[in-house]
Amino acid sequence: MAIEALPQAPLSGSGLGFDAPVPEGGYRWWYLDAFSDDGTAALTVIAFIGSVFSPYYFRARRRGRGTPENFCSVNAILYGPGRRRWAMTERGSGDLQREATYLSIGPSRVLDRGDGRFIFQIDEVCSPFPTRMRGQIELYVGDLGSSCFALDPDGHHRWWPAAPAGRVKLDMAKPTLSWEGGAYLDSNAGTVPLEDTFLKWHWQRSAPEQGRGHIHYDATLLQGGERSLALAFGPDGQCEPLENGAAEGLLPPTTLWRAGRQCRSLVGQPRVISTLEESPFYARSVLELDSGMGPRKVMHESLHLDRFTRPWMQMLLPVRMPRRRLAVAG
């Protein structure tokens, strides 16, 4: 079944919706990724209110104490050249501040400058080795996208491709690193946990060529059935349905945890260039495939929520996601 666009404005709140309410047991996240122009580096930054992969939030929801503002985090990751940094520290409501143009989670923050420019100020401690990640990412976009999509039939989970064809300028002090490249920004919001609705999903977005690219969502519902979405975006960042659907292709499973991956491609056989993240329930990969516009890089993720909910997985997660202790109860 195809995913349909919602008629209302993209999610709630002004701008990127930093000040929008998040319901009990729900979530909101803002996702940024980028490839460097020279192809040697990449980054991912995700700011969570109601951190969907948090073992602490998972337990709190089952105790009836799932206040999303008390389970916030910034997941910041740098890939290459020749180095990798990964950080995700969970924080409580005492470390959250937000207004229409401002989101602060602990020492990291996102600022909306109001001129198509967003500033991501990152100040985090990496895991598993406690090294510092500190610096700034400037994101430049045109007008924000005007379409929002329901990922499930009941509309509990919504996705907004806010700026699929942006540009970033990275300037990090720790580690010392600077580059520029093409970027992608979206946002998700939900009124119930992901694992209550979905069994798994696969998502991909192509690096824009002259500002143009494709986005695909393929989700399997927990109660059965499939949901799929295929979009084409242009230099103005606006998305339209992709008229010629791309064929489903299977990728090799991840090396260690053997998690399944699938993608969409119009021409030839896609290949995995690198697996950036591999866990039992989640994989982030860089692909090369042809979606009808010539070979290009694709950022791809696979999520297996049936694995995420297993008790042994919940016991492992705090190793990579430490939680700062606060006076606020969780």
- Return the amino acid letter for 116: G
Query: Is the CB of residue 241 less than 8 Å from the CB of residue 254?
Result: no
**pTM attached to this predicted model:** 0.94
Helix, strand, or coil (residue 166): strand
What's the CATH code, domain 5-317? 2.40.370.10
The closest of 295, 316, 309 to 39, measured between CA atoms, is 295
pLDDT on residue 12: 59
Tokens standing for residue 258: 């053997």
The predicted-structure confidence for 22-54, as pLDDT tens digits, reads as follows 999 999 999 999 999 999 999 999 999 999 999
Statement: residue 7 has pLDDT above 60? no
Residue keyed to tokens 């122009």? 37
Domain ranges of the chain: 5-317
pLDDT on residue 328: 44
Residue keyed to tokens 């489903």? 248
Helix, strand, or coil (residue 79): strand
Residue 194: φ, ψ to 5°: -55, -45
Q: Which residues pair with 121 in a beta bridge?
A: 109, 136
- Cα(140)–Cα(172) distance, rounded to whole angstroms? 17
Helix H or strand E segment including 58: helix 55-62
Averaged pLDDT, 145-169: 94
The 10 Å Cβ neighbour count of residue 316 is 14
The predicted-structure confidence for 109-131, as pLDDT tens digits, reads as follows 999 998 899 999 999 999 888 99
The predicted-structure confidence for 267-278, as pLDDT tens digits, reads as follows 778 899 999 999
| Residue 143 DSSP symbol | S
pLDDT on residue 209: 79
